[in-house]
Amino acid sequence: MTSTSASSLSPAAAPARSRAGRLAGPAVFVGVLAVALGVLPAVLEPFRLNLVAQYLCFAIVGLGIAVAWGRGGMLVLGQGVFFGLGGYAMGMYLTLERVSSDPLSGGVPDFMSWSGISELPLLWRPFAHPAVAIATAVLLPGLVAALLGWAVFRQRVRGAYFAILNQALAAAFVILLINQQHLTGGTNGLTRFPTLFGASLYSADTKRWVYVAVVLVAALVYLAFRQVVRSRYGALLVAVRDGEDRVRFLGYDPTWVKTLAYTLSAMAAGVGGALFVVVMGIIAPSSLGIVPSLMMVLAVAIGGRFSLAGAALGAVLMNAAETAFSESFAGGWTYLQGALFVLVIVFAPRGLAGIAESAAGWWRSRRQPQGSSQ
């Protein structure tokens, strides 16, 4: 997932390309997948491999943001909500798996016993089944986004208002989670998951399998969204982004066009959240509020929101940089991140993918004088 495949996803991508140009994208994709599955597990220690899995969870969220924001022009500043819905759904299953194997628990998670609850609440019961938990992690964020999107886009709410609405949603979600401590574990969130489907999550072997699963899911989401952005619907989404009112006069209702993209991005965030819980062993309000939601969008802006590969790469790079910096000098990262964001907005609004595209375009026009004008 590097510059070459990024250029093929640009909305203004030049058509009539050579056979080699058309094959470059898939070749890079297969190459990246081969390295991720074949090389990294062999050379990285389990701790590092787990970190890569964590970055990829955010890459999945980033892919969704690239669809909703990059293609659809919807500034989704509250993806933490959907990330959290997915994360908590999976976290509830993992918690119940621990509880059911612990004879001293009394059948309820410890934070519930602290609140004097001795019987598992109705809300929790379905999550004892992994299938229910996984389905909820994917579908519930989608459902919430679909209902919210339909209501909001129908009223032609857009731009800054939509962004602020999403931020408010993230803030409200965090408050809800903290206040319902007896149901959600409050500020601490859900954590301590010794097993997944019966396998110890502390063993290097299980961690490796989790990593492989995350890589495969990320690849699938990438391929699915690639189909979406390259379909007629993808063109329609760009049209809505650039001229919503004009699209109405083509006979389309922009409401469903935007709602679908928003829903897909929420589902991606839910999937990312569900995997994140398994990888990190914790989901808590502190990783879904306003600031984390902003960071998810920031990473996509830096990677390049018009390109799926750029968005995913941005999420991986930013999270990797965060790890690297907090290991050497904590605190400095926040400033650097802010500076990076300003630089990108001012000098490279299309992000790293845009820089790569311009470089590739320059290289092509140097080789054949009749290059694209963009």
Enumerate binding residues for other proteins (CB under 8 A): 11-12, 15-16, 227-228, 230-233, 235-236, 238-239, 242-243, 245-246, 248-253, 256, 260, 373-374
Residue 163 bridge partners (DSSP): none
Q: Closest approach of Cβ 69 to other proteins, in Å?
A: 15
d(CA 251, CA 242): 16
Element (H, E) at 191: strand 190-191
Which CB atom, from 216 or from 235, has the smaller least distance to other proteins?
A: 235
Structure tokens at 125: 């019961």
Which CB atom, from 16 or from 20, has the smaller least distance to other proteins?
A: 16
Q: What's the Cα-to-Cα distance from 356 to each of 71, 79, 117, rounded to whole Å?
A: 19, 27, 56
Q: Closest approach of Cβ 233 to other proteins, in Å?
A: 4
Q: Closest approach of Cβ 311 to other proteins, in Å?
A: 17
Q: Closest approach of Cβ 147 to other proteins, in Å?
A: 17
CB atoms under 10 Å from CB of 3, counted, come to 21
d(CA 298, CA 302): 6
Which CB atom, from 12 or from 345, has the smaller least distance to other proteins?
A: 12
Q: Closest approach of Cβ 232 to other proteins, in Å?
A: 5
Which CB atom, from 48 or from 248, has the smaller least distance to other proteins?
A: 248
Which CB atom, from 236 or from 300, has the smaller least distance to other proteins?
A: 236
d(CA 71, CA 306): 6
Nearest to 135 by CA among 85, 66, 95, 199: 85
Which CB atom, from 289 or from 310, has the smaller least distance to other proteins?
A: 310
Structure tokens at 137: 């992690």
CA 137 to chain centre: 13
Q: Closest approach of Cβ 302 to other proteins, in Å?
A: 21
